[in-house]
Amino acid sequence: MKYFISFTCFLFITAIIEKSFPEKLSDAAITLTKDKVVYDPGYFSISYPNGDVPKGKGVCTDVVIRAYRKLGIDLQKEVHEDMKKNFSKYPQKWGLKKTDPNIDHRRVPNLQVFFTRFGKSLEVTDKASDYKTGDLVTWMINDKMPHIGIVTNRKSADGKRNLIVHNVGAGQVLEDCLFQYKITGHYQFKK
């Protein structure tokens, strides 16, 4: 009986200590803010799978890609494989004729389609409490530039909003920017 109680306590404590996927994604995103990254939207030839743009460079999508990669999920491969099978479901804004594993996963509209197809598309609201740790948020900046970030478990100074890790030009940063731009999408994705 003594061993059963000890084992049960061990399982209970392990369950408490083990972080949820959203918490792990938040931690991975926050860790990225320690790396110096210069905003660089250039096209790069990268390896496949698990390719990445040069260290120290990136855009908003690279924050998401790198955070998921820390959890063993390769969005480059996932997006590319789905686009090969379902190309017509993805936006054709750039005159695309075929997939390109160097860049397809680095486009916000493609990630929006992918997260809708394989994750959960959530309601876009103006209520901060609807945006939970580990959620993905997309915005349109100045009605021209799509943008994406990860909702973290850290709170704004007033405690009303979760902070976001994103890269809008100043590198991978943790900011209180949830309602700074027009929200166009709200997602959850875990594999």
Q: Please state whether beta strands 120-121 and 182-188 pair in parallel, antiparallel, or not at all (unpaired).
A: antiparallel
What CATH number should be reported for the domain holding residue 97? 3.90.1720.10
The arithmetic mean of pLDDT across residues 63-78, rounded, is: 98
Q: Is the peptide bond before 54 cis (omega within 30 degrees of 0)?
A: no
The reply to whether 1 falls in a domain is no
Note whether 187 and 119 are within 8 A (CB): yes
The reply to whether 3 falls in a domain is no
**Helix (H) or strand (E) segment spanning residue 110:** helix 108-118
Total structural domains within the chain: 1
The reply to whether 6 falls in a domain is no
Please determine, for residue 31, whether its predicted confidence score (pLDDT) is greater than 90: yes
How far does the chain reach from its first CA to its final CA, in angstroms? 38
Q: What pLDDT shows up at residue 10?
A: 55
Helices 75-85 and 60-70, packing angle to 10 deg: 110
Residue 36 belongs to what domain range?
A: 20-188
Nearest to 89 by CA among 118, 60, 65, 56: 118
Give the model confidence (pLDDT) of 148-191 as tens digits.
Answer: 999 999 999 999 999 999 999 999 999 999 999 999 999 999 98
